[in-house]
A = this chain, B = another copy of it.
Amino acid sequence: MSEYILVTGGAGYIGSHTVIELINNGYKVVVVDNLCNSSYDAIARVEFITKQKVDFFDVDLRDLESLNKVFDKFPIKGVIHFAALKAVGESTKIPLAYYDNNIGGTITLLTAMQKHEVKTIVFSSSATVYGDATRFENMIPIPEHCPNDPTNPYGKTKFMIEHILKDIYGADNQWQTAILRYFNPIGAHPSGLLGEDPLGIPNNLLPYLAQVAIGRREKLSIFGNDYDSHDGTPIRDYIHVVDLAKGHIAALNYLKNLNGGLYREWNLGTGNGSTVFDVYHAFCKAVGKELPYEVVGRRGGDVLNLTANATRANTELKWEAKLTIEDACKDLWKWTTENPFGFNIDNYEWKVFSDDKEDYRNRLHTVKYDNFEVSFANRGAIIQKIVKNGINVVCGFDEPSRYIEKSNPFFGTTVGRVANRIGHSKFELNGKTYTLESNESSNTLHGGLDGYDKQYFFGPVAKQFKKDDKIINTFEFNYVDKDGHNGFPGDVECTIKYTVDDSSVAIEFVGEHLKDSPVEETIINLTNHSYFNISNTKSTDGTVIKAITNKQLEVNDELLPTGKFVPTHTDITKPTTLSADCAFDYCFVVDGNGSGIDTRDSELKQVIEATHPNSNIKFIAETTDPSFQLYTGIGINTPGFEPRSGFCIENARFVDAINHKEWANQVIVKKGQSYGSKVKYSFV
């Protein structure tokens, strides 16, 4: 069984990278972080990357009571302790805050650990504890036995915490304590999803240079080029943050294999020094252009060379840094260009969307434009709200608990594994018959009893970019649907990517049949079940729709397709006014030939437009899919809403396609393949 590791400060730069490595190495992770200098988005992205739940608590380490509750809740085996304030310059200006946060927080953490008999800790220390190692002869590269003499409050907090840990081990030598002294962490996660997100003016070389590269800072200042190095600039030991993160796993595994306790320090560095110019050139190469810099005078306290002797970690922990400063520069540049303002997107905010205010699984994410606003939530990756010109144009609940009620008619949700009906809850694939649970008479509707509407999607990865001077926001959610869930074969990763601009929401549906899946083929059919209503009243009656087609799938008494296409009761290619007497719940056929499995590269086709005399909003739905279910909400029966409170345009593959040989290829996905489609809802 995998072990729980508590990571303090797990939402931070090194913390979040370490959480990923922990998960990659089979650990379960609980993060506590007070987010004073970090963002929960980092955790959401870790979950998105790893597809693993990370239990998170917004707890200040100095709050013993809350911390004890976390220890009570999980069988924690060890702690990796990052949480700290970490800016050297700031520490000289507000030292008490540093002592309070770093030492006070550590004392509380250790108190909670003692209470819960957790005696394994990996501590995030710093090469800063050595101070100026050049004061000695023969201490460069710096070995762990180099005497300590930190020269600033930040470094002193690390030094003092090392002593506290040493004394605790002295009193109880069952403690397993790994002190990891970092040299200069740089770089970002190769996914481009995680990196350093410094507040204010960056203190460190590369984050500063990255801001120069994207135009947020004018030029880099190089403090002195008259040192005794190959190019005159000082030499430091820069280590890729992913290598550094892996050092923690090495330390943790080392402790795990011990019989008994230990207190020991390890340098985490590459053992190789690079000058400021070396790093500058590497980054310029990653960016593809020369960046402006200026050589200014030496900075007080700087010395020629602070390179690590990393031999102890190399030999004892069997760990060594493998990535180069070129790797780090490339990853940093990817992170910077894809997240120019770090995690902070100015028109996006989120809040917990659950009756349990500590439940970060379900959050409500809102992106705002001047006259347009869209909210998503993690459960079902739903669209909870779309507000156009002050009018809410989709059905949704303000109370999270309403979504869990049985009467919720799939408001706004992602639908899967297979949208719409599967006849008699049964299908054959590769000679095997799969039987599902029936949740609508004898059929399986919208994926079954535990469909995607009930799943908590990871993410979102929220990003913003400009295109043709338009601000565009994207929100990516994902969810892994394992083989056998709801009776479906195959492991499928479902990714829902919303793209929002100032008047539309587009959705990209991807269902990847994962390479490691236990079956060769599976079936996927995804859609979104938003109920639209542009009437500015509780009813869509009076809405005038006009569709691309009048052709629907003929259905039998069991609401299953017969295989034929028939015209609908009213010609909706002409303006048609919705009412109790003019209602629809049919699958309209945009392309009678169906589609390939991934339609994302097809052009979006406008399939419906709608207006209502009460508002001046025009609704347009476009999709790459071969059909859409037009459902005018006659069955809505949940408090606060009436029948016909909204209409749905469920872009998808043909209903029950798997049970119709000529349609089945619309939904069958081979291992390694991806299902894909797009829809776009515009409000103009």
Q: Is A103 an interface residue (CB 8 A)?
A: yes
In the complex formed, the residue of B with least CB distance to A167 is B95
Q: Mark A268-304, 1 if CB is under 8 A from B, else 0.
A: 0000000000000000000000000000000000000
Q: Is A613 an interface residue (CB 8 A)?
A: no
CB contact between A96 and one of B93, B111, B153, B160 (< 8 Å): that residue: B111
Q: Are B168 and A163 in contact (CB-based, < 8 A)?
A: no
Q: Are A170 and B96 in contact (CB-based, < 8 A)?
A: no
Q: Mark A84-120, 1 if CB is under 8 A from B, else 0.
A: 0000000111111001100110011011001000000
Interface residues of A (CB under 8 A from B): 91-96, 99-100, 103-104, 107-108, 110-111, 114, 153, 156, 160, 163-164, 167-168, 170-171
* Bound complex: CA A168 to CA B167 (Å): 25
A96-B168, A99-B107, A153-B167 are known contacts; what are 7 more A-B pairs with Cβ within 8 Å?
A: A95-B167, A96-B111, A100-B107, A103-B103, A103-B104, A104-B107, A160-B163
In the complex formed, the residue of B with least CB distance to A156 is B163
Q: Are B92 and A110 in contact (CB-based, < 8 A)?
A: no
In the complex formed, the residue of B with least CB distance to A160 is B160
* Bound complex: CA A160 to CA B164 (Å): 11
Contacts of A164 in B (CB 8 A): 95-96, 99
Contacts of A92 in B (CB 8 A): 167, 170-171
Contacts of A160 in B (CB 8 A): 103, 156, 160, 163
- Nearest CB of chain B from residue A105's CB, rounded to whole Å: 10
- Nearest CB of chain B from residue A542's CB, rounded to whole Å: 60
Q: Are A111 and B107 in contact (CB-based, < 8 A)?
A: no
Contacts of A110 in B (CB 8 A): 96
- Nearest CB of chain B from residue A663's CB, rounded to whole Å: 68
* Bound complex: CA A111 to CA B99 (Å): 10
CB contact between A167 and one of B100, B104, B156 (< 8 Å): that residue: B156
Contacts of A108 in B (CB 8 A): 100
* Bound complex: CA A329 to CA B393 (Å): 89
- Answer whether A94 and B171 are a contact pair too, CB < 8 Å, given A99-B164, A100-B107, A111-B100: yes
* Bound complex: CA A110 to CA B153 (Å): 15
- Nearest CB of chain B from residue A100's CB, rounded to whole Å: 5
- Nearest CB of chain B from residue A87's CB, rounded to whole Å: 13
CB contact between A103 and one of B91, B107, B111, B114 (< 8 Å): that residue: B107
**How many of these chains are in the complex?**
2
Contacts of A107 in B (CB 8 A): 96, 99-100, 103-104
**Can you sample 5 A-B contacts with CB below 8 Å?**
A94-B171, A96-B110, A96-B164, A104-B104, A156-B163
Contacts of A104 in B (CB 8 A): 103-104, 107
* Bound complex: CA A91 to CA B92 (Å): 30
- Answer whether A171 and B103 are a contact pair too, CB < 8 Å, given A156-B163, A160-B160: no
Contacts of A156 in B (CB 8 A): 160, 163, 167
* Bound complex: CA A156 to CA B167 (Å): 10
Which of A95, A153, A156 has the largest number of chain B CB atoms within 10 A?
A: A95
- Nearest CB of chain B from residue A515's CB, rounded to whole Å: 49
Which of A92, A93, A107 has the largest number of chain B CB atoms within 10 A?
A: A107
Contacts of A114 in B (CB 8 A): 96
Q: Which 6 A-B pairs have the closest CB atoms?
A: A95-B167, A153-B167, A100-B107, A160-B160, A99-B164, A95-B171
* Bound complex: CA A170 to CA B94 (Å): 10
- Nearest CB of chain B from residue A516's CB, rounded to whole Å: 46
- Nearest CB of chain B from residue A118's CB, rounded to whole Å: 13
* Bound complex: CA A107 to CA B95 (Å): 10
In the complex formed, the residue of B with least CB distance to A114 is B96
* Bound complex: CA A120 to CA B252 (Å): 45
Which of A92, A100, A114 has the largest number of chain B CB atoms within 10 A?
A: A100
In the complex formed, the residue of B with least CB distance to A170 is B92
* Bound complex: CA A103 to CA B157 (Å): 12
In the complex formed, the residue of B with least CB distance to A97 is B111
- Nearest CB of chain B from residue A309's CB, rounded to whole Å: 24
In the complex formed, the residue of B with least CB distance to A107 is B100
Q: Are B171 and A93 in contact (CB-based, < 8 A)?
A: yes
Contacts of A170 in B (CB 8 A): 92, 95
In the complex formed, the residue of B with least CB distance to A169 is B95
* Bound complex: CA A100 to CA B62 (Å): 11
* Bound complex: CA A49 to CA B342 (Å): 65
Q: Are A95 and B168 in contact (CB-based, < 8 A)?
A: yes
- Nearest CB of chain B from residue A626's CB, rounded to whole Å: 65
* Bound complex: CA A156 to CA B94 (Å): 22
* Bound complex: CA A166 to CA B108 (Å): 24
Contacts of A96 in B (CB 8 A): 107, 110-111, 114, 164, 168
Contacts of A171 in B (CB 8 A): 92-95
Contacts of A163 in B (CB 8 A): 156, 160
- Nearest CB of chain B from residue A68's CB, rounded to whole Å: 14
* Bound complex: CA A93 to CA B167 (Å): 9
In the complex formed, the residue of B with least CB distance to A150 is B163
* Bound complex: CA A104 to CA B110 (Å): 13
Contacts of A167 in B (CB 8 A): 91-92, 95, 99, 153, 156
- Nearest CB of chain B from residue A215's CB, rounded to whole Å: 34
In the complex formed, the residue of B with least CB distance to A103 is B103
* Bound complex: CA A99 to CA B166 (Å): 12
Which of A91, A92, A163, A168 has the largest number of chain B CB atoms within 10 A?
A: A163
* Bound complex: CA A108 to CA B62 (Å): 11
- Nearest CB of chain B from residue A162's CB, rounded to whole Å: 11
Contacts of A168 in B (CB 8 A): 95-96
